């Protein structure tokens, strides 16, 4: 097995490797790992973020799917620190179990990564499923995705991703990264975002599944009024009991409105 990074980047795995030193430094500064933090990187690739993080923090856990990268990563990591590599698909990793193993005292890990853009939504939703086990997340994503995550009611890009994330996390866009910072260069701008899951006691969603269904239905047909979009999910009486107008559209409803409606349905 090869121990150097000789393979070309694989498009189907979303491989756009960071090479801009100043961007890498800004990400490491944003994460700012402190002694004892359990930092878990998703998609270390050729180590662009992993090795600076290792140098600064000494120990990093990383999850990489591409088996051609496993041996070269392990070999190159040795001079920087202790890399614990999980060889496999991040979507199959139980972050709650990983947290119990890596951070039994605090009960929280810190996630980071320049994510494969084709999988960014599934990875975000997977992380949300384990939000109670995560202290924070620093992710590089397509700029357009970060804009959707942070958008509020009335914005054209306010949608399911905005509501689902903001119900559980504070979302802070940090900085934009141009295509030239990567090899190969993606076609679009990227951005780094910080997500901090709210403490369990400040999350008011009673039933996550009901909430997800309401939000999916409401934005599934975003041009329709709530009355029509939520047909079969919530009737007009429930919509109005939640303090919402049945002739409003999903893009006008704030996160708390969706939470009220979902909680009412969960209670019923
Ligand atoms: N962190 C590196 C960097 O910044 O140069 C690589 C980032 S690249 C955008 C995304 C990385 O995620 C690649 O190394 C890719 O192989 C890996 N990856 C893709 N799908 C994955 C999955 N399902 N689970 C874990 N890693 C995955």
Q: Is the pTM for the entire model greater than 0.90?
A: yes
225 shares a domain with 114: no
Distance 178 CA to ligand 1 centre (A): 18
147 shares a domain with 81: yes
CATH of the domain at 111: 3.40.50.150
244 shares a domain with 134: no
| Residue 168 contacts residue 181 (beta carbons within 8 Å) | no
End residue of a domain, out of 145, 169, 200:
200
231 shares a domain with 109: no
Domain extent, residue 151, equals 11-200
CATH of the domain at 256: 1.10.8.100
Q: Is residue 6 part of a domain?
A: no
- Ligand 1 atom 22: residue of nearest CA: 89
249 shares a domain with 173: no
Q: What pLDDT, on a 0 to 100 scale, did the predictor assign at position 7?
A: 82
140 shares a domain with 31: yes
DSSP state of 7: S
Does 47 sit in the ligand 1 pocket, CB within 6 Å?
no
Does 52 sit in the ligand 1 pocket, CB within 6 Å?
no
120 shares a domain with 215: no
Q: What pLDDT, on a 0 to 100 scale, did the predictor assign at position 1?
A: 54
Atom of ligand 1 nearest to the CA of 90: 24
177 shares a domain with 69: yes
Atom of ligand 1 nearest to the CA of 16: 9
Instruction: Give the SS3 label for residue 41.
Output: strand
Does 159 sit in the ligand 1 pocket, CB within 6 Å?
no
Q: What pLDDT, on a 0 to 100 scale, did the predictor assign at position 268?
A: 81
45 shares a domain with 177: yes
Q: How far is CA 37 from CA 59, 113, 136, in A?
A: 9, 16, 11
16 shares a domain with 43: yes
121: phi then psi, degrees, rounded to nearest 5: -65, -50
Q: What pLDDT, on a 0 to 100 scale, did the predictor assign at position 2?
A: 59
Q: Is residue 3 part of a domain?
A: no
Q: What pLDDT, on a 0 to 100 scale, did the predictor assign at position 145?
A: 97
- d(CA 79, CA 74) in angstroms, rounded, equals 10
219 shares a domain with 136: no
Q: Is residue 76 part of a domain?
A: yes
Distance 86 CA to ligand 1 centre (A): 12
Q: Which residues share a beta bridge with 190?
A: 142, 177
Residue 239: both structure tokens together: 């919509």
101 shares a domain with 61: yes
End residue of a domain, out of 167, 200, 233:
200
Q: What pLDDT, on a 0 to 100 scale, did the predictor assign at position 267?
A: 87
Q: Is residue 77 part of a domain?
A: yes
End residue of a domain, out of 154, 177, 200:
200
Q: What pLDDT, on a 0 to 100 scale, did the predictor assign at position 12?
A: 94
Q: Is residue 111 part of a domain?
A: yes
165: left (phi over 0), alpha (psi -120 to 50) or beta: alpha
Q: Is residue 5 part of a domain?
A: no
Q: Which portions of the chain are predicted below pLDDT 70?
A: 1-2
**Complex prediction ipTM:** 0.99
Q: What pLDDT, on a 0 to 100 scale, did the predictor assign at position 223?
A: 87
Closest CA to 17 of 188, 137, 185: 185
Distance 112 CA to ligand 1 centre (A): 11
| The total number of structural domains that make up the chain | 2
- What is the end-to-end Cα distance of the chain in Å, rounded? 58
Peptide linkage before 184 cis (omega within 30 of 0): yes
- d(CA 213, CA 216) in angstroms, rounded, equals 5
Closest CA to 136 of 34, 259, 267: 34
Q: Is residue 4 part of a domain?
A: no
Q: What pLDDT, on a 0 to 100 scale, did the predictor assign at position 142?
A: 98
Other beta carbons less than 10 A from residue 204's beta carbon: 14
The best mutation among 14, 18, 43 to test binding of ligand 1, ranked by most ligand atoms within 8 Å of the C-beta, falls on 43
């Amino acid at each position: 097995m090869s121990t150097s990074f000789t393979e070309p980047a694989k498009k189907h795995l979303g491989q756009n490797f960071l090479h801009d030193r100043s961007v890498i430094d800004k990400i490491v500064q944003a994460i700012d790992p402190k002694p004892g933090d359990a930092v878990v990187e998703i998609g270390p690739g050729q180590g662009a973020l992993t090795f600076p993080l290792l140098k600064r923090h000494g120990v990093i856990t990383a999850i990489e799917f591409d088996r051609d990268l496993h041996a070269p990563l392990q070999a190159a990591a040795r001079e920087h620190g202790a890399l614990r590599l999980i060889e496999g698909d991040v979507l199959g990793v139980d972050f709650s179990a990983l947290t119990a193993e890596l951070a039994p005292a605090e009960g929280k890990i810190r996630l980071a990564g320049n994510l494969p853009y084709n999988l960014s939504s599934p990875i975000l939703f997977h992380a949300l499923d384990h939000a109670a086990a995560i202290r924070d997340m620093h992710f590089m994503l397509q700029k357009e995705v970060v804009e959707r995550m942070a958008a509020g009611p009335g914005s054209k890009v306010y949608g399911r991703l905005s509501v689902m994330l903001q119900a559980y996390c504070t979302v802070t866009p940090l900085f934009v990264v141009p295509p030239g910072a990567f090899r190969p260069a993606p076609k679009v701008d990227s951005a780094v975002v910080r997500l901090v899951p709210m403490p369990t006691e400040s999350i008011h969603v009673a039933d996550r599944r009901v909430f997800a269904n309401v939000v999916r239905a409401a934005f599934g047909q975003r041009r329709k009024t709530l009355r029509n979009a939520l047909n079969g999910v919530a009737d007009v009486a429930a919509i109005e009991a939640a303090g919402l107008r049945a002739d409003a559209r999903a893009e006008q409803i704030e996160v708390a409105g969706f939470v009220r409606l979902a909680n009412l349905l969960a209670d019923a």
